[in-house]
A and B are shown apart, each in its own frame.
Chain A
Amino acid sequence: MKSTSWLWRGLGITSLVCTLLMMAGFGWALKDNWFPQAGMAVPKSAPPPSAAPGSLASKKELKIVAMGDSLTVGTGDATGSGYVKTAADGLSKTMHKPVRVLNNLALNGLRADQLLKLLDDKGYHNAIVQADIVFLTIGANDLFQIAQNGGSMAQGGDLSPEQLERRMPEVQTRLKDVWAKLRGMNPAARIVYVGLYNPFYDNPNMQPASDLLQEWNRFAHGLSVSDGNATVVPTYDLFESDIGRYLSSDHFHPNEAGYARIADRVVQALQ
């Protein structure tokens, strides 16, 4: 009987305190929902470390930040690694040091004007300032949307090379702006721009577009030369001889084999 009375006292008081605590929490939640007060002061976090200056060969570890469109996402690659991961692994092997993909920020369907806005994002900023190497593919969607006359994407027949030629300078300006902004955020990083290829090479109507894409790649190359710490990786030749083997089923993006070839080129360009 004695033990029961002690049990009741302990249990009763503990559970009463718990009940009052829960009621207080409930009341606080209601108050905060309907009469919110100014919150606590938010503490400052330590800023992300900046990339060290110096050549790629002299660094102990390399951080890669990738950004741009679906090519950098790796769309079409059934294994999901795209060229970014494969190139990082390849670089790690050839340079005998850890190479890490810090962030792959690429989004499907991204255009250069959208990327220009995204570069103001804090997340982009945090990643880019740390990067030793930046992988970039952008402009393909801009060009494609310009060339499109409202036709279906898979056909390629409704694309107009003339329109593409006429309006290419505006997209070139966009690329130039993206490049300048990127360089302004990180003066030390090596920028690797993966050039465009013509996914419609097997379509006779669109063969003239290959010349235009070359024109685009030449422009990008010009930017990289004046930048001094950048590389444009050519890819147009990879898809000309046997286009079906290296493109995925959407007939637009590369497949695993196509991405592996791009990754090889990227590694070679950085050695």
Chain B
Amino acid sequence: MANLLNLVQNETIKVWKKRRFAVVLLILLILIPVFVYAQMKIAQNSAQKFKGDWRAELQTQITDNTRALGSDRIPEEWKKWRRALVQQLQYYLDHDINPRTPNAVTFTRGFMDNAVTLFIPLMVLAIASDLVSSERSSGTVKMLLTRPVRRWRILLSKLVTLTLYVSLIIVATVLLCYLISGLVFGYRGWGEPVFIGFQVSGADVNTSGVHAVPQVIYVLMQAGLAWFASMVVAILALMVSVLVRSTAASFVTMMAAIIAGAILTNMASSWHSAKYLFNVNLELTSYLQGTPPPIEGMTLGFSLAVLAVWAAAGLVVSFGVFTKQDILN
């Protein structure tokens, strides 16, 4: 056990010294202000139009979406999405709750919803993709393997390290989002109510299970779900990193898979078996939001099961290959 802890310490320090996490932080520090600025412009625009009357703004949003539902030019999938949105917004309006109070927590919530499919996986890959392959390309893996340590322990220590960094990345994203957007929107909003539990079934939204949670709890749940999705991405990246010698190849492979997933979720609603792919199931936070899933019949339980199976398979392959493979060159 102490042996494993030492290995984890070694790995953690290695990743830190390679400044992988610093790169992630730098990306966040550059990109979040960009989004904050864009959001600020939107907020200014609507403040000018609605003079702070959020009810009028909400009703306009409902009317606009309802008008779009009447148009024949809009594809049926988009209509489904809009119909659910209209019903949700109407629920907020009926209960006299502003769904988007302007503050840092609301911004963080919106950012996390958008970041979970592409942005966060990308940052996870920055650390996960070269965890094994870099040792191979630089040759240090031989040093590592000549030590009197079982091979599976080495890989396990890398996996533990990866878990720690995935958690760090998500917490850092949430914190930086909050801290940076707070400069503009104010650091309030922890206790604002958010409605969750919208059940999308076909064209209708079932509101019987809807209940309100404080926004801070919502963000925590969001982060937890994003963390699970990121862990699956990390484990699969670790597998690819074991299989492929070049870091670039391993990064590109994973990135392609994730981007393909993002594209598929937008167009795969008629290809039903696509729901068994891991990359279509990454947007776990959408179940919290209550937006219609990309493919009919997907639920939180289903997505978690699919992701868990992929992760388990990824682990079997990684450990199987890493403990058996010959290290040449």
Task: Using CB atoms and an 8 Å cutoff, list the residues of chain A in contact with chain B.
Answer: 4, 7-8, 11-12, 14-16, 18-19, 21-30, 32-34, 36-45, 48, 73, 100, 102-109, 121-124, 126-127, 130
Contact = CB atoms under 8 A, between A and B. Distances in A.
B227 A22 contact: yes
Contacts of B8: 12
A48 B56 CA distance: 10
A32 B221 CA distance: 9
Interface size class of B (residues with CB under 8 A): 35 or more
A155 B9 CA distance: 80
B224 to A, nearest CB: 3
- Most B-side CB within 10 Å, residue of A33, A38, A45, A121: A33
Contact of A122 (B96, B210, B213, B225): B96
- Most B-side CB within 10 Å, residue of A4, A26, A48, A73: A26
17 contacts: A7-B13, A7-B16, A12-B9, A16-B164, A22-B167, A25-B223, A28-B220, A32-B213, A48-B53, A100-B51, A102-B56, A103-B59, A108-B70, A123-B63, A123-B93, A126-B56, A130-B53
B12 A24 contact: no
Nearest to A47: B96
Interface in B281-320: 287-288, 300-301, 304
In order of increasing CB-CB distance, the 6 nearest A-B pairs are A25-B224, A39-B211, A26-B224, A15-B164, A123-B59, A29-B221
Q: Is the interface of A mostly helix, strand, loop or mixed?
A: helix
Interface of B: 8-9, 12-13, 16, 51, 53, 55-56, 58-60, 62-63, 66-67, 70, 90, 93-98, 163-168, 170-171, 193, 195-197, 209-214, 217, 220-225, 227-228, 287-288, 300-301, 304
Contacts of B222: 25, 29
Contact of B171 (A22, A45, A100, A122): A22
Contacts of A36: 197, 209, 211
Contacts of A39: 193, 195-196, 210-213
- Most B-side CB within 10 Å, residue of A38, A100, A126: A126
A107 B227 CA distance: 42
Contacts of B56: 102-103, 126-127
B297 to A, nearest CB: 16
B13 A29 contact: no
Nearest to A40: B212
B93 A122 contact: yes
Given A27-B224, A108-B70, A127-B56, A33 B13 contact: no
Given A40-B212, A40-B214, A48-B53, A122 B94 contact: yes
A266 B62 CA distance: 27
A106 B287 CA distance: 32
Given A18-B168, A41-B212, A103-B56, 18 more contacts: A8-B13, A11-B13, A11-B164, A12-B12, A12-B164, A22-B171, A26-B224, A29-B221, A34-B301, A39-B210, A40-B213, A42-B97, A42-B193, A103-B60, A122-B94, A123-B58, A123-B59, A127-B55
Contacts of B53: 48, 102, 130
A28 B227 CA distance: 13
